[in-house]
Chain A
Amino acid sequence: MNMLLLPLAALFFVMFIIPFFYLLYTSFLTYTSGQVSPGMPFTLGSYLKFFRDSYYAVVIGRTLWLSLLSAVICTIMAYPLAFFMARAQGYLKTILLVLVTLPLISGVVVQTMGWYGLLAAYGTVNNILKALHIIHDPIQFLGTSSAIVIGLVQSFLPYMVLPIMNILQVIPKNVLEAAENLGANGAQRFFRITFPLSLGGVGAGFVLVFGACLSSYTTPSILGSGKVQVIGTVVYQQAMQLFNWPFSAAISMILLVLLLILAVATSLKAKRKAANAA
């Protein structure tokens, strides 16, 4: 039986597991005068550099803040759409599901391209604002954090809509009917039954979107125009433009630690919830 698994496992070993451990190994290598110095003892130099230089503290703080902001906005925007979709049926539902997953399947490059045009100085958003006499001179969206947040919220919105929709669909109808019979009005039914029961889906979506934003590269790279650096763009810059491989490896590891903390916190919370329920 293991023979059937072997080819795929071997491929993952070479392409996935070894590169990962090699990355970990590289993060402890010495980097001097523009190159990796082999034969030197392992060092924490790259990690220390990251934590000593306030520039990187700002980058990490910015990444966390933009990701949190994006995830919060995503939640607020996703909820009504998810609620609407949970109730939709037949063709309408199929169409909505296709449209919601379309940005995911057509890829983040196409989404970023669209925002690049919409948010440009002479782009659609500025034209609309000018036509409405809200602004005189175009707003420079590109190259700002707001452009990145807009792009991230839109690209990862489906990851929030789908889990919330899924959980709303499994809320038993008779619970709501019981509440109605006992005299609860629409708002009471929503805030005291539907919303609390849907929090599991909101949590799942939140973690997914927050993690995806922390790891994002394409959106901040294009919509930030190189002026707003986040963890992903710094990793790329260090690896591909400055060739400081130990440093890019160390930043990658720090990103992974952040994601790990997020994952552990989530699973601890889920466990505590399960323990409370039991």
Chain B
Amino acid sequence: MKRQKHLSRFLLALAAIVVLVFLLAPIIAVIGGSFNGEGYFSFPPDTWSVRWYQAAASNEEHLSSLAHSLKVASVATLISVVLCIPASLALVKGSRKLTSFMKKIFMAPIFLPAIVWGVGMLLFFGKTNVRGSFGLLVAAHVVLVTPYLIRVVGSSLDEFNFTLEDAAISLGATPAQTFLRVTLPLISPGVVVGAVFGFMISFSELIITLFIAGSNFTTFPVRVYSEMRTEGLNPMVLAYSTIIVVVVLVISIIGEKCARWSRFFS
């Protein structure tokens, strides 16, 4: 009986490990392949070297696409934070009917396929000279990250004790003071988590960017995607991707440890 129990536990752990290895296989291949000394993909590496990291450090084209991605993601996240904090407050305090409708609208970008939304924007903005502009790309990315911010900020507002605001006001604080010195500090952990999350979603976004970004403003995912389609796998791209994965990993560990943020996925 006991033996059977041990056996089933062992089999379960084994199955879990096999699935986990499958799940992480591409990431492991990217990391391992980035240390290959040859000019082609090989995992495990044929020869070990860091030459692709050296090459990556001085490749203008890729570095500028990385800079573009960082710029879009940070500007879009910042704007989304500024728009989402008041909107989330309104959603918590507003009438049930309006807020449940607006919440659905704000969550919609998660559910509408990016390919459909992308085509919609391409068709609508396609003939105008707005298409290809930095402003349009940022506006689209603001919409893209908003569902995550609304969800995370909303859940920290759900836990927020609004009698604290009443207390501040009855003690003579203006609404602005109340917001800046009571509400905002208490919801700021949620805002930070939502912002970091949104930033990473925006940074790795491919499809809508493919449809509306200008050819002179290539983001990193778009550049990598186009290269893979035309030239195949470039080992230098593995080096950049490894750095990105490591950064994401570090942030995820902090996010999971401090905010248990995997819950925002399901």
Please list the residues of chain A having a beta carbon within 8 angstroms of any beta carbon in chain B.
Answer: 1-2, 4-5, 7-9, 11-12, 14-20, 22-23, 26, 77-78, 80-81, 83-85, 94, 96-118, 120, 122-124, 154, 157-159, 162-163, 166, 186, 204, 208, 211, 214-215, 217-218, 221-222, 226, 232, 235-236, 239-240, 245, 248-249, 252, 255-256, 259
Contacts and interface: CB of A to CB of B under 8 A. Distances in A.
23 contacts: A4-B86, A11-B139, A11-B142, A15-B140, A80-B15, A80-B19, A81-B15, A102-B24, A107-B205, A107-B206, A110-B30, A113-B233, A117-B41, A118-B26, A162-B265, A186-B4, A217-B114, A217-B207, A218-B225, A239-B122, A245-B126, A252-B115, A255-B113
Chain B binding surface SS class: helix
Interface in B211-266: 211, 221, 224-225, 228-229, 232-233, 237-238, 241, 244-245, 248-249, 252-253, 256-257, 260, 262, 265-266
Chain A binding surface SS class: helix
Given A8-B106, A102-B252, A235 B211 contact: no
Contacts of B40: 122
Contacts of B84: 8
Query: Shortest 4 CB-CB distances between A and B: which pairs?
Result: A114-B26, A107-B204, A215-B113, A19-B120
B102 interface: yes
Interface in B120-173: 120-126, 139-140, 142-143, 146
A100 B19 CA distance: 10
B249 to A, nearest CB: 6
B221 A109 contact: yes
Given A114-B30, A158-B265, A255 B87 contact: no
B124 A222 contact: no
